[in-house]
Chain A
Amino acid sequence: MRIILDAMGGDNAPQAVVQGAVRAARELDTDIVLVGREAEVRACLAACGGENEPRVSVADAPEVITMEDEAGMACYNKRRSSMTVALTMLKAGEGDAVISAGSTGALLGGATQFVKRIKGIRRAALGPVLPNGDKGVLLIDCGANVDSTPEYLLQFAYMGSFYAQKLMGIEKPRVALLNVGTEDTKGGALQKAAFSLLKEASDAGRINFVGNAEGSDLFAGKMDVLVTDGLAGNVMLKTVEGLAKFMFKELKKVMYSSTKTKIGALLIKKDLYGMKAMLDPSEVGGTALLGISKPVIKAHGSSDGRAIFNAVRQAIACVQADVAGAIEANIDHMKLEKAKEN
C-alpha cells in the first residue's frame, strides 16, 4: 500500500501533514509519499524526527494551491502544485490513494479532471459520515454539486449505499431522501423525480430505499445514507457543525456558572470528553470523494497530525474496500436510461 499525501494542503501544512504521515508510516502498514515543496517538507521531517523514516518519501512540487485560486480551474492552472502532482501520481499508478486537506473545490475539480470519474458517473459527490450514536450516517452530497438532477441523486444513493456496505459494515444500508416531509408526495420537482427513481431501484432489490426523511431524522437512527443535492446537504452539514459548537459553548458556560455545576462537571468530565471525541472530525479523518475512479480523501482543512493519521487509516480502508469497483460493477443500473428500463 502506498498513500500519496498533499503535504501543502490545509491550514496547518506542511507540519501537521508531515507529523501525521510519519506516525502513519510507523503504525500502519503503508508507504507514504509526501508531495510538496521539498525543502520545506524535509525540514518538517527533520523537525519531527522522521527524516530517516524508511517508508516515507518526498516528491517535489513547487507550487501550492490556495483558497484564492479559482477552485474548478486551480489544478489545471497549477500543474506543478502539490495537489495536482499528487493526483497525477495517483492516475499514473504511483500510489493507491490521495489525501489532501487543501481546498475542497480544487480537489474535487482536480480529481475529476486528472484522476477521472468512474465511467458513467455523472458527478462525483462528497459523502461525510456523521455521528448518530451508532455506526454513523453518510450524508451525500455535501456540496460538490450545487445543482443536481434526479439521475445524480440516484447515483448518489447507489454510491452511498456501497460505501456504507463496504466501509461502515452495514449489510443492507437504509437509504433515505432528504425532503420537507416524510410523505411520498412531498418536495419539489427534483425530490419527486428522485423519489420515483429510488423507489424503482429499491423495488428491483438494488438499494434499500426507506423513503423521505426530514432534517430532524438525521440523528434519529432512521437511515444509514441520506441522499440530497449538494446545496441542501452543505447547508445541513454546516448547520449541524455550527449547532454542535454552540451547544458545547453553552454547556461550558453552564458548567462553570457555580460551584455546584463545577463539581458536577468534574464528575462527568471524562464522559464529556468521550462525547466530544465522537463529534471530532479529526477522529474520522476525512471525507471520500465518491464517484472518482480511485480513492481520493478530503481531510478537514484544519487537520492536525492526528487527523492526517486517521485520514491515512481511512484511505487504507477505502483502498481495501474497493468502493469504486462496486460502483463500476453496477454502473448500468445507475444510469437514467437503464434505471427507466428496469
Chain B
Amino acid sequence: MVYDKIIEMICEQFGMEPDQLSENTTFTDDMGIDSVDVVELIVELETEFGLDEIPEEELKKMRTIGDLADYVRAHTDE
C-alpha cells in the first residue's frame, strides 16, 4: 500500500513509469532527482499519510524508495 502509493506519486510528479522503479531505486543516481524533489515527494506523503515532519537526520539517510517506504510504514498504521 505505502510502496504502491509512493510509486504512484513518483510517476505522477516526475514522469516515470512504474516498471522503471523498485525498492532499491536510488533518488539521486537512478532517478536523477535532487533534494528539492525528494522533499517535494515527502511533503506529499506527509499529507497523504498524516505524517509528522521528518527530522533532517532521518531525511539525509533516505537514499532509496525502499528507505522512504520503510520510514512511512514505521510511522503510520500502514
Residues of A within 8 A of B53 (CB): 76, 79
Q: Is A116 in contact with B40, judged by CB distance below 8 angstroms?
A: yes
Of the listed stretches B19-27, B31-39, B69-77, name the one at the interface; the rest are far from the partner chain: B31-39
Residues of B within 8 A of A117 (CB): 40
Q: Is B15 in contact with A72, judged by CB distance below 8 angstroms?
A: no
Residues of B within 8 A of A79 (CB): 53
Q: Is A113 in contact with B15, judged by CB distance below 8 angstroms?
A: no
Q: Is A112 in contact with B36, judged by CB distance below 8 angstroms?
A: yes
Q: Which residue of B lies closest to A79 (CB)?
A: B53
| A120 contacts chain B at the CB level, 8 A cutoff | yes
Least distance between A42 CB and chain B CB atoms (Å): 28
| B51 contacts chain A at the CB level, 8 A cutoff | no
Secondary structure of the A side of the interface? helix
Residues of A within 8 A of B37 (CB): 112
Residues of B within 8 A of A113 (CB): 36, 39-40, 43
Q: Is B56 in contact with A73, judged by CB distance below 8 angstroms?
A: yes
Residues of B within 8 A of A77 (CB): 56
Instruction: Tell me which residues from 117 to 135 in chain A have a Cβ below 8 Å from any Cβ of chain B.
Output: 117, 119-120, 122
Q: Is A120 in contact with B15, judged by CB distance below 8 angstroms?
A: yes
Q: Is A76 in contact with B15, judged by CB distance below 8 angstroms?
A: no
Q: Report the separation of the CA atoms of residues A79 and B14 in the bound assembly, to the nearest whole angstrom.
A: 24
Residues of B within 8 A of A70 (CB): 35
| B62 contacts chain A at the CB level, 8 A cutoff | no
| A114 contacts chain B at the CB level, 8 A cutoff | yes
Q: Is B40 in contact with A73, judged by CB distance below 8 angstroms?
A: no
Instruction: Tell me which residues from 26 to 61 in chain B have a Cβ below 8 Å from any Cβ of chain A.
Output: 34-37, 39-40, 42-43, 53, 56, 59
Least distance between A289 CB and chain B CB atoms (Å): 12
Residues of A within 8 A of B15 (CB): 120, 122, 335-336
Q: Report the separation of the CA atoms of residues A116 and B35 in the bound assembly, to the nearest whole angstrom.
A: 15
| A108 contacts chain B at the CB level, 8 A cutoff | yes
Residues of A within 8 A of B34 (CB): 72
| A211 contacts chain B at the CB level, 8 A cutoff | no
Q: Which residue of A lies closest to B32 (CB)?
A: A147
Q: Which residue of B lies closest to A76 (CB)?
A: B39
| A20 contacts chain B at the CB level, 8 A cutoff | no
Q: Report the separation of the CA atoms of residues A338 and B36 in the bound assembly, to the nearest whole angstrom.
A: 26
Least distance between B14 CB and chain A CB atoms (Å): 8
Q: Which residue of B lies closest to A77 (CB)?
A: B56
List the 4 closest A-B pairs by CB distance, nearest first.
Answer: A72-B36, A72-B35, A109-B36, A113-B40
Residues of B whose CB lies within 8 Å of any CB of A are: 12, 14-15, 34-37, 39-40, 42-43, 53, 56, 59
Q: Name 9 interchain pairs, CB-CB below 8 A, sorted by A.
A: A72-B35, A72-B36, A72-B39, A73-B56, A73-B59, A109-B36, A113-B39, A113-B40, A120-B15
